[in-house]
A and B are shown apart, each in its own frame.
Chain A
Amino acid sequence: MTIDFDSYYSIDSIIADNQKVPSEFLTNVPGQGWLQGGLENDIKEGAKIDLPYWLSSTLALSEYDFLNLSIPPAFSTRVTNALIASPSFVKLANLNHFWYSFGIRISDLLEDNLKLQQSLRLAFTNRLIDIFDLGQYEGSVDDKGFETDFKAGMDELEKQLFHICAASAAQHKRL
């Protein structure tokens, strides 16, 4: 098992591609009103819709100005500040189950992505030791059903790392 952000066949990266990005339409789009979920037939200029990343990124990067994208709430300044304050206490899973994968995709779209990249990195490097400790613990105890706040708040990527760590710890416990 390898952790993969952009592989074509990776289920996680497909789901990450489907996370919603708040988008504002800059043109009228006839016949596509169903995207808004309402009964209207057309999309009006200025309409704000949450579109999946694969759609919004393609439209936003095309040579016509279809969309204005805004940064999803999961990567807002409020979240970054919370991560700076106490990385282990932020429940990433509540923000987005594919927080890292989605964050990388958003940062690839931004011209000024320094801040977002820094907060992704900050979150990962600071939470890694908690993942490691939890994995080592899970590998050494028989009761695998325990729950902690941190365990419940891990995003999918962190869960994968956690399981890798726990499996390895369990395997090497005896020797």
Chain B
Amino acid sequence: MAVPGQKKESLTPSELHFIATSEYVVEIVPNFSMGQIRLLSGIWGPFTPPGKARVPLWLALDLKRRKRCSIVAPEWMSVDHLQERLKDETTHGEYADLPFRYLEISKAIIGVAGEDVDNAALIRSLLMDIRQARQTKSRQGVVKMNDAGMAMTGISQLEINELRPFFVQSFGVMRRLGGAHVAAPMSQSTQIPSQFTLDEDGWDVSGV
């Protein structure tokens, strides 16, 4: 199939952005009144200002662009919470506990509704610090890589997507190079059984 090489390896960041905005649900404060609306993802609303409503992120972003609502940033995007996570990240060996798609979600919200987020600039720099700390951990994963497998508990979608092509190919090479205990196969023909049956002299006798 004529798919570009990079799309075969993993998803693109924009595809991840799309998935995150379809999946994630945020709270908004609408500035219009409307009853419930029925979408493929479910029934959302009603919209009664100044009450809050829960909607999918893509809808929230769209309403925000039309200046029809303000987005309430999720709790984990607060300065306090992120500072704590950054502390976890630098003191513990594991990835800190953050939403699976935290990078995509936070970027979308800050990018479109930066004015609704308190301390947006500080949050952005905290997120960058967290990401850098996590990248250091991913690098440790490469150092410890072997052909048996590896655990990267808590790694996020975007990070795993970035590492995937390199890791998959490296695992492939490692498996072929084999452990010291694994005897290498003599040739590839021993792995794939031939559809023909050959006699000692190499003649095809499957039809006989």
Chain A residues with a Cβ under 8 A of chain B: 1-3, 5-6, 100, 104, 107-108, 113-114, 117-118, 120-121, 124-125, 128-129, 132-133, 135-136, 157, 160-161, 164-165, 167-169, 171-172, 174-175
Contact = CB atoms under 8 A, between A and B. Distances in A.
Given A128-B170, A129-B143, A175-B103, A104 B187 contact: no
Nearest to B180: A118
Interface residues of B, number: 40
A175 B10 contact: no
Contacts of B6: 167, 171
Nearest to B186: A108
A171 B182 CA distance: 37
Given A129-B143, A175-B158, A6 B188 contact: yes
Contacts of B142: 128-129, 132
Contacts of B166: 132, 135, 161, 164-165, 168
B119 interface: no
16 contacts: A3-B173, A100-B177, A108-B184, A121-B174, A121-B177, A121-B180, A124-B174, A125-B174, A128-B142, A136-B135, A164-B165, A165-B166, A168-B10, A168-B166, A175-B13, A175-B103
A104 B169 contact: no
B50 interface: no
B13 A121 contact: no
Contacts of B65: none
A174 B13 contact: yes
Given A114-B180, A160-B169, A165-B165, 4 more contacts: A3-B169, A121-B178, A128-B145, A175-B17
Given A128-B142, A171-B12, A175-B103, A5 B176 contact: yes
A110 to B, nearest CB: 9
A117 B169 contact: no
B169 A172 contact: no
B49 interface: no
A175 B110 CA distance: 12
Contacts of A129: 139, 142-143
Contacts of A168: 9-10, 162-166
A6 B177 CA distance: 12
B184 A113 contact: yes
Nearest to B143: A129
A167 B145 CA distance: 21
A114 to B, nearest CB: 6
B107 interface: yes
B139 A132 contact: yes
A167 B6 CA distance: 9
Nearest to B6: A167
A38 B162 CA distance: 54
Nearest to A121: B177
Nearest to A116: B184
